[in-house]
A and B are shown apart, each in its own frame.
Chain A
């Protein structure tokens, strides 16, 4: 606003010398201090590039059966070795990684969107709506997630498969259920942020200027409450990848012809004594992805916490 008085003397003191730094830049500057988080981010980008473009470079078909190279260890022809049918594991892991990682991202999106909506509604409204939503959140928090996940997939799998095809049906189901059982943390965080932010002066100023409630929320409160949500969302990706791998590992996830990392591990677990490489590569990929995401989340937590001096 041109010509307006500065809000405080501090703002003036910081005036000419200080350069404006955008929040994203400032976050990046702080994020870089956390070495393990940067390493995690690099590994994660490499993994995304590998599963994104790898299948175009490594053009071995995922279901090419070769009985001459069954359960073969790593070699130049098969860098990650082969499985019990002589299928190339590198090709299968690149293909399966797409699904494992996209399930993680999609389920995180579901969890964050649902959690933000529930938390925002609870944070804006007072009284009975807030209480009811928080009771619901606490209820979901005390649900045994994995048994329920298994139960829902067991009951709904065949119906959805018939409706939209096996691959897409299972994908939608797994994403919806994992996301639907993980939104509570985000909802609690968003509500807590809303409760403190809506009493802050800048929101009061917006209210005094006649901003509608919708505008107050979308323009002023929500952007300022995103920090913890981003961190929780990052950690949720890791949790969703683990959840999907767990389902596949129990033999209740994707159908056998879709080699997600958990599914590869499920197939490999009976051949641990003769072909340990089979399980080690798939499990290692899950572990590396989850560890990198957790480190990135930790780095973001430090970088986005305004109280932390860095």
Chain B
């Protein structure tokens, strides 16, 4: 397992380098000077702008600039936010836990929907349950997250007045009250992301289980008299999960996209809404850093998926 992890890490490094090249390329190709707005920004003294130009070495050749930029990124030296007047890394570290909390719980919700529904659909293919689930899944991933968010606000905050639609980082209460309030304000963002992901995962789980359930070893398991529950849970689902893990890992970029939208709708103070507000405020260092963090998160989740894959299918780890 240790060697497998090392090998996976070795594969992840070129991906991070590739992504950093793409990001830097976009920045370098952008017309005009990315720091030109500093000159017109009254919050930035001219000497800071000059120091930044020198630090980013805007007059060096391209590849030298790339290595400087990459070294700074990897050191956690991500620059200074002119709007929030603090280091970008501090700003992001403040916001990151909220984003991870919302994304993490929504993925758990998605899993809690997709696994049982997908397995049940596949064990009774073309039944009424399967068809209803399939249609609902189609509706689920055709509903854009921004529209679901507005619909939920309309229903639960405005019509029924049950849930708050603005996420507050500082709730001003402690103990169980805090847990309850946190749950109430996180419910809608988590539901929006979780239902969207759950809908598309349901289809993956269903087709993966359908592929496995016809195999001979499943018939053998049934023939030797195992209960149907045991056959499905221990023999089918575990083997069906391997392709699902791959597909889920491929979906991670889309999950982060959905998180940006959701954070923006519910004003969740995470890095997604930070990205949007910095774009509207022309805060380039923050924008670059947040995009880089998103890219690293995608790679990290791919790595986790690879490890899960090795755990689910021991043949892979030994290869």
Which among A143, A238, A250 is the interface contact of B261 at CB below 8 angstroms? A250
Which among A147, A155, A245, A291 is the interface contact of B256 at CB below 8 angstroms? A147
A154 within 8 A of B: yes
Which among A147, A155, A295 is the interface contact of B27 at CB below 8 angstroms? A155
From A144, A152, A156, residue with most partner B Cβ within 10 Å: A144
| A286 and B147 in contact, given A142-B19, A146-B256 (Cβ under 8 angstroms) | yes
- B31→A156 contact, CB < 8 A: yes
Bound-complex Cα distance A262 to B145 (A): 12
| A265 and B146 in contact, given A143-B19, A250-B261, A294-B138 (Cβ under 8 angstroms) | yes
B219 within 8 A of A: no
- B146→A143 contact, CB < 8 A: no
Bound-complex Cα distance A207 to B158 (A): 68
- A286→B144 contact, CB < 8 A: yes
A121 within 8 A of B: no
A12 within 8 A of B: no
- B264→A291 contact, CB < 8 A: no
Q: Interface digits, A266-284 against B, CB 8 Å rule (1 contact, 0 not)?
A: 0001001100100110010
- A295→B32 contact, CB < 8 A: no
Which among A155, A250, A273, A276 is the interface contact of B264 at CB below 8 angstroms? A250
A290 within 8 A of B: yes
- A159→B22 contact, CB < 8 A: no
Bound-complex Cα distance A262 to B265 (A): 13
B135 within 8 A of A: yes
Which among A142, A159, A249, A272 is the interface contact of B299 at CB below 8 angstroms? A142
Closest to B144 in A: A242
In the complex, what's the smallest C-beta–C-beta distance from B153 to chain A, in angstroms? 6
Interface size on A, residues (CB 8 A): 44
In the complex, what's the smallest C-beta–C-beta distance from B83 to chain A, in angstroms? 14
A113 within 8 A of B: no
The stretch that binds A, out of B51-59, B105-113, B180-188, B289-297, is B289-297
Bound-complex Cα distance A265 to B135 (A): 25
The stretch that binds A, out of B61-69, B89-97, B220-228, B274-282, is B274-282
A36 within 8 A of B: yes
B84 within 8 A of A: no
**Which residues of the partner chain B approach A291 to less than 8 Å between Cβ atoms?**
138-139, 142
B121 within 8 A of A: no
| A152 and B146 in contact, given A143-B253, A144-B253, A159-B31 (Cβ under 8 angstroms) | no
In the complex, what's the smallest C-beta–C-beta distance from A203 to chain B, in angstroms? 29
- B256→A250 contact, CB < 8 A: no
Bound-complex Cα distance A156 to B31 (A): 6
From B135, B147, B290, residue with most partner A Cβ within 10 Å: B147
In the complex, what's the smallest C-beta–C-beta distance from B232 to chain A, in angstroms? 25
Decide if the interface of chain B is mainly helix, strand, loop or mixed. helix
- B287→A246 contact, CB < 8 A: no
Bound-complex Cα distance A294 to B134 (A): 12
**Which residues of the partner chain A approach B19 to less than 8 Å between Cβ atoms?**
139, 142-143
- B257→A294 contact, CB < 8 A: no
**Which residues of the partner chain A approach B265 to less than 8 Å between Cβ atoms?**
269
Which among B15, B23, B138, B290 is the interface contact of A295 at CB below 8 angstroms? B138
- B253→A298 contact, CB < 8 A: no
- A144→B147 contact, CB < 8 A: no
- A144→B150 contact, CB < 8 A: no
- A287→B294 contact, CB < 8 A: no
B39 within 8 A of A: no
A45 within 8 A of B: no
**Which residues of the partner chain A approach B138 to less than 8 Å between Cβ atoms?**
36, 291, 294-295, 298
- A251→B144 contact, CB < 8 A: no
In the complex, what's the smallest C-beta–C-beta distance from B206 to chain A, in angstroms? 13
- A143→B144 contact, CB < 8 A: no
B302 within 8 A of A: yes
- A245→B34 contact, CB < 8 A: no
Q: Interface digits, A236-271 against B, CB 8 Å rule (1 contact, 0 not)?
A: 001000100110011110000000001001000100
- B15→A246 contact, CB < 8 A: no
| A139 and B18 in contact, given A148-B26, A272-B158 (Cβ under 8 angstroms) | yes
Bound-complex Cα distance A101 to B294 (A): 29
A158 within 8 A of B: yes
Q: Interface digits, B219-262 against A, CB 8 Å rule (1 contact, 0 not)?
A: 00000000000000000000000000000001001101100110
B154 within 8 A of A: yes
A141 within 8 A of B: yes
Which among B22, B144, B150, B158 is the interface contact of A246 at CB below 8 angstroms? B144
From A138, A139, A154, A238, residue with most partner B Cβ within 10 Å: A154
Bound-complex Cα distance A290 to B19 (A): 30
A145 within 8 A of B: yes
Q: Interface digits, B1-31 against A, CB 8 Å rule (1 contact, 0 not)?
A: 0000000000000110011001100110011
Bound-complex Cα distance A269 to B299 (A): 34
Task: Give 17 CB contacts A-B under 8 Å.
Answer: A142-B253, A144-B295, A144-B298, A146-B253, A146-B257, A150-B276, A154-B279, A155-B26, A155-B30, A242-B144, A250-B261, A252-B280, A262-B146, A265-B147, A269-B265, A272-B158, A294-B142
Beyond A155-B30, A245-B146, A291-B139, 17 additional pairs, beta carbon < 8 A: A139-B15, A143-B19, A143-B253, A144-B256, A144-B295, A144-B298, A145-B254, A147-B257, A150-B279, A156-B30, A246-B261, A250-B264, A251-B280, A252-B276, A283-B151, A287-B143, A287-B144
B residues near A (Cβ < 8 Å) are: 14-15, 18-19, 22-23, 26-27, 30-32, 34, 135, 138-139, 141-144, 146-147, 150-151, 153-154, 158, 250, 253-254, 256-257, 260-261, 264-265, 275-276, 279-280, 287-288, 290-291, 294-295, 297-299, 302
Which 9 A-B residue pairings sit nearest by Cβ, starting from the closest? A146-B257, A159-B31, A155-B30, A283-B147, A291-B142, A144-B294, A139-B18, A290-B142, A147-B294
